[in-house]
Amino acid sequence: MIEVVNNILVKIDDEGNMVSIDDKYQQLYVNMQKILGDKCRLKYEDGAREVEDIYYYLVEKIYELPAYAWDAEFKDGPKQKLDSAFNKFIHDKILWHPQQPYWHNYDSDARNLRQSDGKFLV
Amino acid sequence: MIDLKDVQNNYLAIDFFLSMSCNKDCHYCTSYTLEQRNLTVDMEFLKKTLYYLRNYKTRCNILGGEPGLIKNLPEVIEEIKSNPNHVCEVLSNSTVRRRYPKVLTDPDIIYVEHFILDFYEHEISLLGPKSYDFHDENEFNNYNLVIKTPNFEKYKHLYPEAMEKLDHKNTLWKEFNGRAPDFQEIRLNAQAAEIDRKMCAAFPMVPVINFENQNLVHCSKKFANNAITSKEFEITQENVDKMMNFRLFKYENYCVTCTEYVQPKGHFPLKKYASLLNK
């Protein structure tokens, strides 16, 4: 689950611990607040909703280039769609495809490095 | 009078490829044939297309091929101009200047003349008749479009007078793109970031209305390239509505390898997306 604590995004893990989230996502949250105002809400169910590609791309672009979020006013309809896209992006990137510590992939990486005859590629 | 900045910020551009015929064979261009064909525009098809676009602020770029070869060009322009939501832009190699000079005196038409400007050691190679010089600064919406070819980058410092003549608000500069062969001495623009190509795919810099096959084509760059045919759609009200609301076009396989220049600061500014999506 992702929550906002003191205006900062945090991830709550299975054991109820608060796990910090990358600064780039915090910056995205701040920028989305700037664009969406009080329409910017973090809702778990919105993360699962289908959104129009263009809104998802806009959120992704703001994530990649925070300076992109500058001087643009959206009306209520597009704001709502943008908020859904933001939720989907956040849940998609942080909750459903979390970055695993490197040792989680150790076994599969080792297998991939091995050729079929058992020799290592590198 | 049309304000180019307003058009750039609030309109979506669509290329109208009236005919693929051209009277020049510019080295950087693959969007032409020297065969003279389809030189009269089907007005019924044009009217139908413009009707589907009637509610959208559209910048209709007339090109091809060379629009100066079109026999009923004045009629086509008048039809486009008849809807206040539509802005007419003509991109020519200067044949329009010779054959339809009235286009240049109408400030409600954006007239863009493109110059190859291949700067060699001994001369500047201009596209079009040598008797035509660059457009001076003007209020008639006549523009020079200069393509920064590899030779331009290499030799421009040898031609300060030409550069001075181009240094005003009526000159538009275009980055050289990946359509040309790989010039080893000149660094071409790197491929745009994936997110920029995705945004471009949702509504490309310019989708195409192909008047020869009478259909809607995803991307002018791939369409003109001929290497891989860009995805085609039937022209219907439903498809036009989807296109203008960023719902028709998808990130296609050819977008993955596309090397067309996209500004790193964004395909369109966020302000433009807001302006279009708010409608």
- Asked if the model's pLDDT at residue B144 lies above 70, the reply is yes
Interface of A with B in 17-56 (CB under 8 A): 52-54
Q: What is the mean pLDDT of residues B234-262?
A: 90
Residue A49 is assigned to a structural domain of this protein: yes
Please answer yes or no on whether A72 and B246 come within 8 Å at the CB atom: no
Residue A44 is assigned to a structural domain of this protein: yes
Q: What is the mean pLDDT of residues B38-60?
A: 95
Which CATH number fits the domain B4-277, given the four candidates 3.20.20, 2.50.20, 3.30.410, 2.60.40?
3.20.20
Q: What is the mean pLDDT of residues A81-106?
A: 74
Residue A41 is assigned to a structural domain of this protein: yes
Please answer yes or no on whether A78 and B193 come within 8 Å at the CB atom: no
Output the average pLDDT for chain A. 80
State how far the alpha carbon of B195 is from the alpha carbons of A62, A64, A100, in Å.
10, 8, 23
B78 vs A10, residue with greater confidence: B78
Residues of chain A with Cβ-Cβ distance to B193 below 8 Å are: 64
Chain B CB within 8 Å of residue A74 CB: yes
Please answer yes or no on whether A61 and B278 come within 8 Å at the CB atom: no
Find where tokens 């991939």 sit: A112
Rounded to a whole number of angstroms, the distance from the CA of A100 to the nearest CA of chain B is 23
Residue A118 is assigned to a structural domain of this protein: no
The reported pTM is 0.83
Q: d(Cα B20, Cα B3) in Å, to the nearest integer?
A: 29
Residues of chain B with Cβ-Cβ distance to A69 below 8 Å are: 270
Which span out of A81-85, B85-89, B163-167, B262-266 was modeled with the highest average pLDDT? B85-89
Which of A57, A64, A74 to mutate against chain B (most B CBs within 10 Å)?
Answer: A57
> Interface pTM (ipTM) of the complex?
0.84
- Asked if the model's pLDDT at residue B36 lies above 80, the reply is yes
State how far the alpha carbon of A76 is from the alpha carbons of A40, A49, A80, B13, B269, in Å.
11, 18, 6, 26, 20
- CB of A63 closer than 8 Å to CB of A26: no
Q: How far apart are the first and last CA of chain B?
A: 23
| Residues of the domain holding A43 | 2-113
How many domains, in total, are found in chain A? 1
Rounded to a whole number of angstroms, the distance from the CA of A42 to the nearest CA of chain B is 22
Which of A36, A39, A52, A54 to mutate against chain B (most B CBs within 10 Å)?
Answer: A54
pLDDT at A100: 53
Phi-psi map region of B162: left, alpha, beta (phi>0 left; psi -120 to 50 alpha): alpha
